[in-house]
Amino acid sequence: MQDLLTPDQLELREFVREVVRRSVAPRAAEIDATGEFPWDVVEAFRSAGLMGLPFPERFGGTGSGHLMTLVAVEEISRACATSGLILAMQGLGSFALQLAGTDEQRDRYLPKLASGEWIPAYALTESDAGSDAAAMRTTARLDGDLYVLDGSKRFITNAGVAQLYTVFASTGLSKGHAGISCFMVEADSPGFEVARLEPKMGIKGSTTGELVFDGMRVPADNLVGAEGEGFALAMRVLDRSRPGVAAQALGLAQGAVDHALAYAKDREAFGQAIVKHQLVAGMLADMETRTQAARGLLYDVGRMLDADADGPSLTKAAAMAKLFCSDTAMAVTTDAVQILGGYGYIKEYPVERMMRDAKITQIYEGTNQIQRLVIAREMAREARDGA
């Protein structure tokens, strides 16, 4: 659907595709097999300037905007979802700073992130506080000119490889979500530890770990926004990061469609290519249609973000894109495995990896059950004719 992008945007997309062909696609299977974080891919992204896509030019970024960052995540994820997540995390780990950081905080951290010198992480989830973020038990108390953090976070992407963590903690447990605050935590802060890394079904080259804060002390000026503003900030961040998950999912779906089509054109059964068999052709048609429809939703959100949209309309659109793109990725990758038959189930072809990688997109950044609640909630608030 080239008419969705301008000529300049198409040129940038082609540049990203070339980086992917050269530095990502040849490594995708090995990254999955070893489960090792791909620092060589990070270096390739740094050299190409891709780590700066989510950042304004004043901080050393490319100023390309949200839409083109999403397009880049999509293109990378067509070959390797782990590598696509690296770029998506540059946004997620920095959005709190971009939205609510002071000038000093932004000047201190954003150039390091935009250059790719530093990799960020986003620490909201806890063992008993996932979808219910207000149930978090990690605390932060002011002690002179320092905050002291105690508690833990779970399922944190980039754990152990990030140099900067956006951490949410309660400065008033009795206040629920109104007591949550946001802090920037550097990886070498005393009392901070990555307790373990999780073995996973998919996105194996991306680290996912547990963070522990044991009397960890951070300067008071590392507070982002005011005390008690963290929950609202976290939700605004998710409105901007959920499209990144959607882009990762869309890339997986498109990659699976491409591989399934190529196989179906080459594989013969009963005297003809299986792409000509009605049942297989019907599956491919549905896969293509769902993928293109998902792209329309995602690119619309990218344009909304580039137009500085905020509030309920963005919340709903981001949830819809995340929901539909990730459900599409799971359905399409599963069908791709089916089309390839026995070959789809073994590692000779990448579709089994894509199916495993796709599953997480329905879970993180808010499960798809939560996305449906968010969408319905915003629908109920809307004033419509006949409603």
Which residues form the catalytic set? 365
Dmax (CA) for the chain in angstroms is 79
Q: Smallest Cα–Cα separation from 264: which of 349, 355, 329? A: 349
Asked if 16 and 71 touch (Cβ cutoff 8 Å), the reply is: yes
Burial (CB count within 10 angstroms: exposed 0-12, middle 13-18, buried 19+), residue 339: buried
Cα angle 357-244-96, degrees, rounded to a multiple of 5 = 125
Bridge-partner residues for 223, per DSSP?
183
- Cα–Cα dist 275/284, whole Å: 8
Burial (CB count within 10 angstroms: exposed 0-12, middle 13-18, buried 19+), residue 4: middle
Up-side HSE of residue 53: CA atoms within 13 Å toward CB? 28
Burial (CB count within 10 angstroms: exposed 0-12, middle 13-18, buried 19+), residue 94: buried
Q: Is 353 helix (H, G, I), strand (E, B) or coil?
A: helix
Asked if 181 and 223 touch (Cβ cutoff 8 Å), the reply is: yes
- Cα–Cα dist 294/362, whole Å: 14
In angstroms, the Cα distances linking 6 to 3, 73, 74, 247, 291 are 7, 18, 17, 18, 20
Within 8 A by CB and 6+ apart from 39, the residues are none
